[in-house]
Amino acid sequence: MPRWPLSGGLGILASLQLAGCGFGDLFRAPGPADGVLFVFQSDTLLDVGDTVPLVVAVIADGQMLPNPRIVIASSDTTRLAVTPAGDAVIGVRQGLADLDVRLVGSIITGEPPDTVQRFRVVPQ
């Protein structure tokens, strides 16, 4: 029966440990982003002239994504504007406007997950 040197056996065990810890995910091909949920934590009712920070939590497969990269756009910039940095919304004029929020990432192929949130702008 062949004998394994101690260092060789430890190397195999270490390799198995890395494989079990999700190391293989680094080499997985990009694919669609399934199971993505957007949770709005910002106020969706604004006064004309208000600037409100946009806070959106993104949950993928039951786990919150740290620092998700999102792109936002207003359906009606005459009512609801987005700051140039994309981190806040501004109530411009009374009415309703939808905010499109899209998760972007280099490992997402196909259509990136997105959602629409309705905002209401009221007079001061």
Tokens of residue 13, six digits: 């065990």
CA 75 to chain centre: 20
Q: For residue 89, which of 102, 72, 104, 103 has the smallest C-alpha distance?
A: 72
Distances, alpha carbon 97 to alpha carbons 70, 87, 113, 122, in Å: 19, 17, 20, 12
Dihedral sign (CA 38, 43, 45, 51)? negative
Least confident segment among 12-16, 79-83, 84-88, 97-101: 12-16
Q: What is the mean pLDDT of the chain?
A: 79
| SS3 of residue 120 by DSSP | strand
CA–CA separation, 117 and 100 (whole Å):
7
- pLDDT over threshold 90, residue 113: no
Q: For residue 113, which of 30, 33, 41 has the smallest C-alpha distance?
A: 33
pLDDT at 105: 75
pLDDT at 20: 46
Task: Give the whole-number percent of the chain exceeding pLDDT 90.
Answer: 49
pLDDT in tens, 29-72: 444 455 788 999 999 999 999 999 999 999 988 889 898 889 99
